[in-house]
């Protein structure tokens, strides 16, 4: 096998993709093949939600709105282990997403325009939605 010849230090790790609440709520509301799209665009990836995003989703899920139902579905993905919950130092989701992506060389999935601007300014790769499909936003 090719990986046997490369050795363990040469095998690429899956890219970390940090999810913002806006992205998760959007794909819960309008189901898309988002996981397949990310796999196609990025290759193997590790889906991650950081604590401030999880807290935001949990707070939204306690409501009684349509958005609350979709936030609840996103929380369930994390609770079931389909998306890994990662601890982070801060409490502000946008700042922590930028920080974690820079620290780990990760990408961020979001549809939040202000966050996209921050990520681009920091040279972090952004995954977003267009026409119900995942796209890579170039810096």
* Structural domain spans, the chain: 13-137
> If you compute the radius of gyration of the chain from its CA atoms, what whole number of angstroms results?
15
Q: Residue 25 phi/psi, 5° resolution? A: -65, -40
Strand order in the sheet with 15-19: 84-86, 45-50, 15-19, 107-109, 126-130, 133-137
Q: How many CB atoms lie within 10 A of CB 47?
A: 19
pLDDT in tens, 61-103: 999 999 999 999 999 999 999 999 999 888 899 999 999 999 9
User: Mean pLDDT of all residues in the chain?
Assistant: 91
pLDDT band at 9 (very low <50, low <70, confident <90, very high): low
pLDDT of residue 1: 45
Q: Is 3.40.50.1010 the CATH number for 13-137?
A: yes
Query: What pTM, to 2 d.p., does this model score?
Result: 0.89
């Amino acid at each position: 096998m090719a990986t046997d010849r490369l050795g363990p230090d040469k095998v690429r790790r899956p890219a970390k993709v940090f999810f913002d609440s806006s992205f998760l709520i959007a794909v819960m509301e309008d189901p898309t093949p988002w996981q397949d799209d990310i796999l196609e665009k990025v290759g193997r990836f590790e889906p991650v939600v950081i604590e401030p995003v999880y807290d935001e989703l949990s707070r939204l899920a306690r409501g009684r709105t349509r958005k609350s139902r979709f936030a609840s579905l996103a929380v369930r993905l994390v609770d079931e282990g389909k998306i890994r919950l990662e601890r982070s130092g801060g409490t502000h989701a946008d700042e922590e997403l930028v920080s974690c992506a820079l620290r780990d060389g990760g990408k961020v999935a979001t549809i939040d325009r202000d966050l996209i601007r921050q990520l681009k300014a920091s040279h972090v790769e952004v995954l977003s939605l267009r026409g119900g499909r995942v796209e890579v936003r170039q810096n």
